[in-house]
Structure 1
Amino acid sequence: MHPYTAPLADIRFVLHEVLDVPALYARLPGSDAATRELIDAVLDEGARFVETVLAPLYQSADAEGCHFDPATGAVTTPKGFKAAYAQWVENGWGGLTAPESAGGQNLPETLGAVIKELVDATNLAWGNYPLLSHGAIEALKHFGSDWQKEVFLNRIVSGEWCATMCLTEPHCGSDLGLLKTRAEPGADGSFAVTGTKIFITGGDHDLTDNIVHLVLARLPDAPAGTKGISLFIVPKRKTGRDGVAGEANAVRCGSIEHKMGIHGSATCVMNFDGAQGWLLGEPHRGLMAMFAMMNSARLGVGLQGLGLMDRAYRCALAYSKERLQMRALGGPKFPEKPADPILVHPDVRRMLLTCKALSEGSRALALHGASLLDVIERSSDAAERKQADELLSFLTPIIKACLTEWAVEGTYHALQCFGGHGYIREQGMEQLARDARITTIYEGTTGIQAIDLLARKTLQTQGMGLKHMLTMIVEFCTAQTRNTALAEFVAPLAKAAQDWQQLTLEIGRRAGQNPEEIGAASVDYLFYSGYVVLAYWWARSVATADAGAHPDAFKTAKRETARFYFQRILPRTQTHAAAILSGAGNLMALEAEAF
């Protein structure tokens, strides 16, 4: 596999110029320490860590996988994972964005998102362990009591302990209203949690000696459905208010899954047999706290897709410059060689440019989402916080679903550039493709994200988040009206935004007559939205590059990639619109017996 080099030039371009996060941090309370110099220093050190520590473990961990001992329920991670985690903890990476009161560094989430991209690009399976800890930090930060923060939050921030998120049950996937795990109150204020959870990432491992499980369960007086779910802290080792991790709790890994990819990430069946737990937040309000974890995780999984897509592209690009096959159709480009590099061939360029356009555009979108988190958490302006929250709520399903689906497409194209060699394990491309596939499933499938976007985040809110996004597009297009150099992007972007608004209104009208129209339109609407949003970020990237002190080659690369995106990828919206407008009838007419 080609060595990984972090794409710091493009990351810095997005952070410092497209988003201008130094200016954002300068005005957000508690963020002024994150100067451009500090940001660059963190990026350099993060790149060094992933390139030298995580990247070398990627293929070996996939071949080895995790080990499960049925006699004890213990899980051992692949060789090198524990040592890498120790270095992660020693360098303070786990607490990068955590509050100082919990022992963290209180740096902005945007910077944490960049580090996450680099981690997942180099070793997705390893990156899953700190991913869940980050989500637990969010839940405990907002809903934990003082003693819970002291005992659990601080140790997760320090990296001494890891965490998990335990939602799914054998009979209960995305429909949490069917959840059966129960929690019985005890005399000491704790609860006895009993039930089985499946697909639990990092349910057991050897990276830390205690694991904090955040478990959804029902109290005895819980009402039916999702309104009767509470959230509990259930540590692997019994841990009380004194903070002492004592004997083993009644929670055990029953087995680990044998998966298509991410073999180094332990995916566990977890059995809770009257395990000691502590209520997190209010009774029957567990989903509110859990969604603090899930929203964090969904943005994190979008970054996983970005990391995999970008790494696959860079591997394929390097190979396409080296691999000699045939001659260019217009005549030899390298006559001194026995054949031309495959980079000269239009179809190889089509695949590479698709990867490049989707990954670089996605980086701007994802980091914008992370910057909205910073505004929500830190701004002193209530109106600004509210608007950022509404916009991020709208963008989250787009980031999670589109970036992961594009990762599947991108890793597919990158593998294809290798031809038969891409199908061979030693190149590492098939691993990237296998790993990317799970990202469209966990933390809410693409279908779930699509329903969330259209039904909840658009129709139920009267399109509040969409209005904010459309305002951004209109303001940008208006500001660039006289910029003739940008006309080829501004005009189609303005048209796409107008069509997006009209399409949304039409879906709403049809849904009022037939609710099935929402489900029938949702996935196409998700992709339609994603392509328009990415068009905005590409147009804005070209404008930013033109205005900056960049070499001509950099500006040309941005412009030509944007041109490819607008001419070859953005037109996909037309197909999605046609599918939406065809209605629900062609999906629902066929009787079940006729399938």
Structure 2
Amino acid sequence: MQSYTPPLREMRFVIEEVLQAPAAWAAMPAHADLDIDTAAAVLEEAGRFASGLLAPLNAVGDRQGCRLADDGRVHTPEGFADAYRAFVQGGWPALACAPEHGGQGLPMLLDAAVGEMWAAANHGWTMYPGLLHGAYDCLRHHADPALQALYLPKVASGEWLATMHLTEPQAGSDLGLLRSRAEPAGMGLGGLPGLPAYRLHGVKQFISGAAHDLADNTVHLVLARLPDAPAGSRGLSLFLAPQRLPDGSHNPVRCTGLEHKMGLHGSATCAVALEGALGWLVGQPHRGLQAMFVMMNAARLHVGLQGLGHLEQAQRHAWAYARERVQGRGRPIAEHPAMRRLLWTLRADAEAGRVLAYETAMLLDTAHHGADADQRAEAEGQASLLTPVVKAGLTALGHHGADAALQVWGGTGYTRDAGIEQTVRDSRVAMLYEGTNEIQALDLLQRKVLGDQGAAFGRRLAAIQARAEAAPAGLAGEAAAVRHAVQAARAALEALAPQAEDTDRVGAAADDFLAGSTRLLLADAALRIAQAAAPGAAEDPWRAERLAAARWGLLRGAPEAVFAFGRVSSPVALPA
């Protein structure tokens, strides 16, 4: 199962026909010169890199894991460093970065499609460059010009990698409990004149890629407290602490141990000691979370793409095995009803999930580059609304879909021979990091939906309703199912709105609201797939498969949305 075949035709179908991205690019000054042939060439080359270099290292990384040397340096699995050098030489880190920083200035939509390939081919390796674009955006928007001049080109090119230091042993999701501290150290230290430096002290945990042998420098972005910081999360400041200082000396950001994890063995997950490390302030004092959220939101989209990658890889290999495995009167198990049900469900979820993830990336392109201010603001609001659904919904589908796919192999799937067990293990962590899925549910309901009295969510529901009402007669049943789900969502919002200040009620409803929203958005995506695939489906078996998967997924998924929203509207009281 370690091979990887990039779903290039499926990706282009979503980009060109479902989302009609080329027309949107033409309306953006930053992307007006991008044509579909160039975009297709980028995807094809990324597919070759993923299948040729990354996929063969996936099992290697799982078997070998990482090793911590006595000097605190981490040795990554065999081949990882060579693959990363090829990654940088190919210009892949700079794909969506601005040309003025050495980037290629391509849309986030293309970056998302490429990110799906990296994660599907080798999630463990992908963790090392996974935070580069988020770090780039964070520094671009919040760092001092002197820091930007030194670090943005190196981060954009991938020559230097980046990490995000949040978690501490006593502080997981509750960042208000962070204890790491920052003390003023004076001007001109570390070879960076003109900026005040700080000494950082503390212990961080679960830091991905804090030490490795892939690049000769790592840009650590660290949350810590200044001496006059108020208590809680409002007292956090963000600091840039490079592993190698501008004067060439080593900065004491030390890896003290590696986590022994259930999966993702190829990714170095480090415990870190900050032993008076030099750092420089990014953004305003005590407003570190505002700066860090730029990085976290980018990371959450990419984590959702990890879930999509796992689901795509699991369903593709499950289909291949089911067509070959003969059981029961000489029939391939792909013909058995129980297996057909499972296989079509996996395919439907993967293809609808791709639309949802890519649309979110496309909204970010509009938010950054749209020609009209109102259009940019609306796109930013909708991307913010969809991000927790993409992160939580697609990672849940990725893990549970891989777990379901294991059934196709029977007992063989429980062994290492098939490879699906690694996918099950590796996919689980995506439901935990970058904010657990329960936190994403609270973020969706409490902040993104009830936070503006349901306005942005209401506009999304209206757009879904309008698409369903405009569906052709041949999809009348599917359109009716989507409209029914929209009604259930509106009823749930109506039931919750008067209780928006009741944190227990909102907290108890959040997971069901997220589940309903995920299934509703996937049903909407499936209806869009069906509409795009229907013309020519009678003559083209590939389009017929897209249509069949979309209809199956929609007609089983929309009732799940209704059920989940119904639990929000008519809750059962939580036991004390």
Match of 2:216 in 1: 209
Q: Does residue 435 of structure 1 match 2:426? A: yes
Equivalence map 1:396-545=2 (5 Å): 396-480=387-471, 483-512=472-501, 514-545=502-533
Match of 1:330 in 2: none
Give the Å deviation of 1:55. Answer: 0.5
Alpha-carbon distance in 1 for matches of 2:271, 2:228: 27
State the Cα deviation string for residues 252-297 of structure 1 (Å, max 9, x = none). 0010100001100000011101100010111111111100000000
Match of 2:233 among 222, 226, 248: 226
State the Cα deviation string for residues 139-195 of structure 1 (Å, max 9, x = none). 011112222112111101111110000001111111111111111112111110111
Match of 2:37 in 1: 37
Partner letter of residue 234 of structure 2? K
Q: Is the Cα contact below 8 Å between 1:211 and 1:236 reproduced in 2?
A: yes
Match of 2:163 in 1: 164
Match of 2:126 in 1: 127
Structure 1 pair 132–509 and aligned structure 2 pair: CA distance change class (3 A)? same
Alpha-carbon distance in 2 for matches of 1:343, 1:474: 35
**Pairwise CA RMSD:** 1.4
Q: Does residue 364 of structure 1 match 2:355? A: yes
Match of 1:593 in 2: none
Match of 1:583 in 2: 571
Alpha-carbon distance in 2 for matches of 1:265, 1:103: 27
Give the Å deviation of 1:391. Answer: 0.7
Q: Does residue 277 of structure 1 match 2:279? A: yes
Give the Å deviation of 1:108. Answer: 0.5
Bigger mean CA offset, 470-479 vs 316-325: 470-479
Q: Is the Cα contact below 8 Å between 1:55 and 1:122 reproduced in 2?
A: yes
Give the Å deviation of 1:340. Answer: 1.1
Alpha-carbon distance in 2 for matches of 1:177, 1:526: 25
Give the Å deviation of 1:490. Answer: 1.1
Partner letter of residue 154 of structure 2? R
Q: Is the Cα contact below 8 Å between 1:85 and 1:207 reproduced in 2?
A: yes
Give the Å deviation of 1:2. Answer: 5.6
Match of 1:332 in 2: none
Match of 1:84 in 2: 83
Q: TM-score, normalised by structure 2?
A: 0.96
Alpha-carbon distance in 1 for matches of 2:442, 2:516: 14
Partner letter of residue 281 of structure 2? L
Instruction: Give aligned pairs, total.
Output: 568
Equivalence map 1:14-33=2 (5 Å): 14-33=14-33
Match of 1:149 in 2: 148
State the Cα deviation string for residues 531-574 of structure 1 (Å, max 9, x = none). 00111111111111124688432332222212222332322224
Match of 2:250 in 1: 248
Alpha-carbon distance in 1 for matches of 2:305, 2:3: 20
Alpha-carbon distance in 1 for matches of 2:473, 2:121: 41
> What percent identity do the matched residue pairs reach?
44
Q: Is the Cα contact below 8 Å between 1:424 and 1:430 reproduced in 2?
A: yes
Q: Is the Cα contact below 8 Å between 1:387 and 1:468 reproduced in 2?
A: no
Q: TM-score, normalised by structure 1?
A: 0.93
Q: Is the Cα contact below 8 Å between 1:73 and 1:253 reproduced in 2?
A: yes
Match of 1:294 in 2: 296
Q: Is the Cα contact below 8 Å between 2:489 and 2:562 reproduced in 1?
A: no
Give the Å deviation of 1:228. Answer: 1.2
Q: Secondary structure at the match of 2:127?
A: helix
Q: Is the Cα contact below 8 Å between 1:306 and 1:404 reproduced in 2?
A: yes
State the Cα deviation string for residues 379-431 of structure 1 (Å, max 9, x = none). 12110011111111111000000000011121012111001111110211000
Match of 1:236 in 2: 243
Alpha-carbon distance in 2 for matches of 1:57, 1:112: 22
Match of 1:12 in 2: 12
Give the Å deviation of 1:445. Answer: 0.6
Bigger mean CA offset, 499-508 vs 554-563: 554-563
Match of 1:311 in 2: 313
Q: Secondary structure at the match of 1:427?
A: coil
Alpha-carbon distance in 2 for matches of 1:584, 1:292: 37
Alpha-carbon distance in 2 for matches of 1:453, 1:87: 38
Q: Secondary structure at the match of 1:16?
A: helix
Alpha-carbon distance in 2 for matches of 1:548, 1:168: 52
Q: Is the Cα contact below 8 Å between 1:516 and 1:584 reproduced in 2?
A: no
Give the Å deviation of 1:472. Answer: 1.5
Q: Is the Cα contact below 8 Å between 1:22 and 1:36 reproduced in 2?
A: yes
Structure 1 pair 63–484 and aligned structure 2 pair: CA distance change class (3 A)? same
Partner letter of residue 519 of structure 2? Y
